[in-house]
Amino acid sequence: MKNSEDIKSEYEGGERLEMEKYILVVLFLVQQRWGYVINKEFAEDGITTKQWLMLIIIGQAFDHDPSMQEVANAMSTTHQNVKQLASRLEKRGFLTIKRDPQNRRILRLKITQACQEYWENRTKDDAQSISAIFHGLENEEIKQLFQIMGKLDKTNLYEQAKE
């Protein structure tokens, strides 16, 4: 297999489309590799990457107990997938699934106290793991990547693809 630097140099300085192709492939590879690292990190706790992501989204992206559909939309996945993940996490005591009192068809997800305590106990380990993932990037590069990822997140390609 070619060295990643050699592959990068083949695309560098080329046409924009060629660089975009390279970026797309690398993003998928990084996602795969980070998924592996996260799965390994949480394996002893029995938490998968998707469960980890869902807990973070529920805890950070909403100022209310979200519905399963809201979480599905936030994760760019299906209601059915969220229901499976939520059921497993409920069995583990990380969240509760409750019917909305105003609309009994809606199921709401709520992080439990046990889940909050779990994350509080992991804070130091998680900080070290996150720092290790971004090791090698300078502060300015982190700021640039932060800005770029924010712009990429704003594209509505997912919404267009769902139509």
Q: pLDDT tens digit string along 13-30?
A: 778 888 888 888 889 999
Instruction: Check residue 2 and give its pLDDT.
Output: 63
Q: Mean pLDDT, to the nearest integer, of 66-91?
A: 95
Share of the chain above pLDDT 70, in %: 94
Instruction: Check residue 102 and give its pLDDT.
Output: 93
* pLDDT, tens digit (0-9, with 9 covering 90-100), for 80-106: 999 999 999 999 999 999 999 999 999
- Enter the DSSP assignment of 64: S
Tokens of 30: 């990084």
Which of the pair, 63 or 129, is modelled with greater confidence?
Answer: 63
Lowest-confidence segment of 7-16, 57-66, 87-96, 115-124 by average pLDDT: 7-16
Instruction: Report the mean per-residue pLDDT for the chain.
Output: 89
Residues in Cβ contact with 134 at an 8 Å cutoff, skipping those fewer than 6 apart? 142
Instruction: Check residue 10 and give its pLDDT.
Output: 74
Whether the pLDDT of residue 149 is over 80: the answer is yes
How far apart are the C-alpha atoms of 41 and 132, rounded to whole Å?
Answer: 12
CB 119 within 8 A of CB 127: no
Instruction: Check residue 94 and give its pLDDT.
Output: 96
Share of the chain above pLDDT 90, in %: 57
Q: Structure pTM?
A: 0.81
CB 66 within 8 A of CB 109: yes
How far apart are the C-alpha atoms of 129 and 96, rounded to whole Å?
Answer: 28
Regarding the domain delimited by 46-162, which CATH topology (the fold level of the hierarchy) does it fall under?
Arc Repressor Mutant, subunit A (1.10.10)
Whether the pLDDT of residue 78 is over 80: the answer is yes
- DSSP for 92-148 reads TTSEEEEE-SS-TT-EEEEE-HHHHHHHHHHHHHHHHHHHHHTTT--HHHHHHHHHH
Whether the pLDDT of residue 11 is over 80: the answer is no
